[in-house]
Structure 1
Amino acid sequence: MEGISISLSEGGHDREVSEVRVDGVIDTLTAGELEQVMDSLLRRERYKIVVDLAGVDYISSAGWGIFISHIKDVRDNGGDIKLVNMVADVHEIFELLEFDKILHVMKSVDEAVEIFTGRKSDIKKKRVIPTHPHD
């Protein structure tokens, strides 16, 4: 069974943009790890969030629920969650579920950071949060 790995980077003029890079599958077994990262960002008042899904082949309803459940708090605090680099299969389900009416999709991390800051991206790798496949 596949696991998930998540890395976290920060950028922008005042390091105000957080990039969450996810690789693997986001399903019932792995969604909790992504939720911990999102919860941590909100506790630290990090409300400009870019989620890079280039390495994600599948997102279950549990995974989509994480983004949906956090979007109100994020937007109430002047931020947003921007999803980038979705593979075709994931994007197709995203549109089928009509999440495109709730969440914003960008083509790249750079585009999302530029929308948040009005400047070109300068995201720097901050740390990797290792996770392990579930047995």
Structure 2
Amino acid sequence: MQIEERTAGDIIILDIIGKMTLGEGDEILKDKINSLVLDGHKKIVLNLAGVPYIDSSGLGEIVRTYTTVSRQGGSLKLLNLTKRITDLLAITKLLTVFETHDSEEDAVRSFSASARV
């Protein structure tokens, strides 16, 4: 698994590329998120378009990422979920926990909308 980091203003977009499975980069995502949070970043988008496969460990890593960011007063949003990831989140009832978006523009704009609420 690889992570490519981009920014849109004060929003960090992480493009996840590759399988999210046990032993396939779970430490990479954890370390990246911890580093971003320590640097004060509170608006993070995980772009999952490049994730062809995810297992329960990968799903657990997304949940841990969400928890880490939320505990620091931040917000994590998911972008470009594949059908498999959407189905997995629905089966585990986690689809109601995460804010998901189909376009990067909508995901970025949603941070402004949630700030006004």
| Structures share fold, TM-score greater than 0.5 | yes
Q: Letter of the 2:94 partner, please give it.
A: F
State which of 2, 21, 27 in structure 2 corresponds to 1:27.
21
1:48 is displaced (CA, Å) by: 0.6
Superposed CA RMSD in Å reads 1.6
User: 2-side partners of 1:76 and 1:19: how far apart?
Assistant: 19
* SS of corresponding position for 2:49: strand
**TM-score, normalised to structure 2's length?**
0.85
| CA spacing shift, 1:39–1:77, aligned 2, 3 Å | closer
Q: Is the radius of gyration larger for structure 1 or structure 2?
A: 1
In structure 2, runs of 5+ residues without a counterpart are: none
User: 2-side partners of 1:59 and 1:35: how far apart?
Assistant: 16
Which portions of structure 1, spanning 4 or more consecutive aligned residues, are displaced by more than 4 angstroms? Answer: none
In the alignment, is residue 41 of structure 1 matched against residue 73 of structure 2?
A: no
The equivalent residue for 1:11 is 8
**TM-score, normalised to structure 1's length?**
0.75
The equivalent residue for 2:55 is 60
User: 1-side partners of 2:84 and 2:95: how far apart?
Assistant: 14
1:74 is displaced (CA, Å) by: 2.2
Query: What is the aligned length?
Result: 112
User: 2-side partners of 1:89 and 1:82: how far apart?
Assistant: 17
| CA spacing shift, 1:18–1:71, aligned 2, 3 Å | same
Higher relative contact order (CA 8 A, sep 6+): 1
In structure 1, runs of 5+ residues without a counterpart are: 119-135
* The structure with more helix, counted as a fraction of residues: 2
1:49 is displaced (CA, Å) by: 0.5
* The structure with more strand, counted as a fraction of residues: 1
User: 2-side partners of 1:116 and 1:67: how far apart?
Assistant: 19
**Per-residue displacement from partner, 1:89-128 (whole Å, max 9, x unpaired)?**
121111111111221111122111111135xxxxxxxxxx
